């Protein structure tokens, strides 16, 4: 039903009591005049006058409702905080409800302001914590590199995992933050992919996983930090679930980045839920080495930079993730 029709029906409802009063008044007048055998002509005149007056009142009420409805519609569609008091209250009840609404809005604004301050404090704390914790990690890495032994190499791999989880803490908070820290510019896609591969070089070696990447001349317009987060997480997952296997990174002519492995794959019942926060799936539970946050962060980052991400997988044959950069790319001729 159109809004104008709803306003018309609402006006009729408000007008019904006045119409009922008119009918009762004229019915009583007609009955009195008829019982006393008085001419009914004055009653008819009175009825005509009442109808004209009521018509004028109804038109005025309908016009007032149209204006009020239009203003309420504007207020519903206006940005948050643009609350206005220019709609007149017709009754004491409406004024009371309006005052209650004002109180609710004020409380919500206070809560929102408090939550925003607390969230900013938390972000600053974890940002400081991440930077501070990286200092002892760097010191430990230097000490472990002084002597090239199997034990030290294993400890360095574990230290890399610790540092990655530390970074995920900060990424998790920043992704859920309302503030936008995007820096959108043009990058050589080849450089971003190689940077992600280089970061996981020791993991490839430790897990005996072969990486295959032929390079690309494509460019992409994106945010480097968040795109790297996605690439690194997909590479990390490919290594984790493809021990002594192979990871292929392919860039198509359409500027789609495909990260493909020949690992254990994902069960069909788990596939629809792999991007949910905290969901590890059967394979993650078996290995007890999945937090269920990596792919969740990847999906959130992909949404943040408006890059569609999709997945195909078959148990025992591997998994294939695809990032569609075709809407944000600039191809080099």
**pTM for the full predicted model:** 0.65
pLDDT of res. 283 = 60
Tokens of 49: 């006058």
pLDDT of res. 28 = 84
pLDDT of res. 196 = 95
CB atoms within 10 A of CB 311: 16
DSSP class of residue 302 equals H
Q: Are 245 and 210 in contact (CB under 8 A)?
A: yes
Q: Does domain 184-330 have CATH number 3.30.565.10?
A: yes
Domain ranges of the chain: 3-88, 92-179, 184-330
Q: In whole angstroms, how large is the CA radius of gyration of the chain?
A: 35
DSSP class of residue 184 equals E
One pLDDT digit (tens) per residue for the chain, 333 residues: 677 788 778 878 877 877 788 788 778 878 887 887 777 787 787 778 888 888 888 888 888 888 777 777 766 665 554 555 555 666 677 778 778 878 888 898 889 888 888 888 888 888 888 888 888 988 998 988 888 888 988 898 889 888 888 888 888 877 766 555 778 899 999 999 999 999 999 889 888 999 999 999 999 999 999 999 999 999 999 998 888 889 999 999 999 999 999 999 998 988 989 998 877 766 654 554 566 788 999 999 999 999 999 999 999 899 999 999 986 544 443
CB atoms within 10 A of CB 47: 17
Look-up: residue for tokens 């149209």?
A: 66
Q: In the sheet where 329-330 sits, what is the strand order?
A: 184-188, 219-223, 329-330
pLDDT of res. 247 = 95
Going by C-alpha positions, the residue among 121, 124, 141, 134 that lies closest to residue 166 is 134
Full DSSP string of 84-119: ---SPPSSHHHHHHHHHHHHHHHHHHHHHHHHHHHH
pLDDT of res. 329 = 47
Burial 185-203 (b: 16+ CB within 10 A, else e): eebebbebbeebbebbeeb
């Amino acid at each position: 039903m159109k809004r104008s029709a709803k306003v018309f029906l609402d006006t009729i409802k408000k007008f019904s009591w006045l119409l009922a009063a008119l009918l009762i008044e004229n019915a009583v007048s007609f009955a009195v005049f008829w019982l006393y055998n008085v001419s009914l002509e004055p009653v008819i005149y009175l009825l005509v006058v009442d109808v004209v007056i009521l018509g004028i009142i109804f038109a005025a009420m309908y016009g007032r409702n149209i204006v009020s409805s239009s203003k309420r519609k504007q207020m519903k569609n206006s940005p948050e905080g643009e609350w206005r008091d220019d709609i007149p209250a017709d009754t004491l009840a409406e004024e009371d409800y309006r005052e209650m609404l004002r109180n609710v809005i004020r409380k919500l604004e206070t809560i929102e302001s408090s939550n925003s301050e607390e969230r900013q404090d938390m972000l600053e704390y974890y940002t400081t914590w991440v930077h501070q914790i990286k200092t002892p990690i760097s010191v430990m890495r230097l000490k472990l590199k002084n002597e090239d032994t199997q034990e030290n190499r294993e400890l360095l791999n574990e230290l890399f995992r610790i540092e990655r989880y530390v970074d995920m803490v900060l990424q998790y908070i920043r992704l859920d933050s309302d503030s936008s820290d995007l820096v959108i510019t043009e990058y050589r896609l080849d450089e971003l992919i190689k940077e992600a591969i280089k970061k996981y070089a020791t993991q490839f070696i430790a897990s005996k996983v072969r990486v295959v990447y032929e390079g690309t001349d494509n460019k992409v317009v994106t945010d480097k930090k968040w795109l790297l987060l996605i690439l690194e997480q997909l590479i990390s997952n490919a290594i984790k679930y493809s021990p002594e296997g192979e990871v292929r990174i392919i860039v198509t002519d359409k500027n789609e980045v495909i990260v493909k492995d020949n690992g254990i794959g994902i069960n069909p019942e788990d596939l629809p839920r792999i991007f949910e926060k905290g969901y590890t799936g059967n394979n993650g539970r078996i290995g007890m080495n999945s937090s269920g946050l990596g792919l969740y962060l990847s999906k959130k980052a992909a949404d943040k930079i408006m890059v569609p991400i999709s997945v195909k997988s078959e148990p025992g044959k591997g998994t294939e993730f695809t990032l569609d950069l075709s809407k944000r790319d600039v191809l080099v001729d």
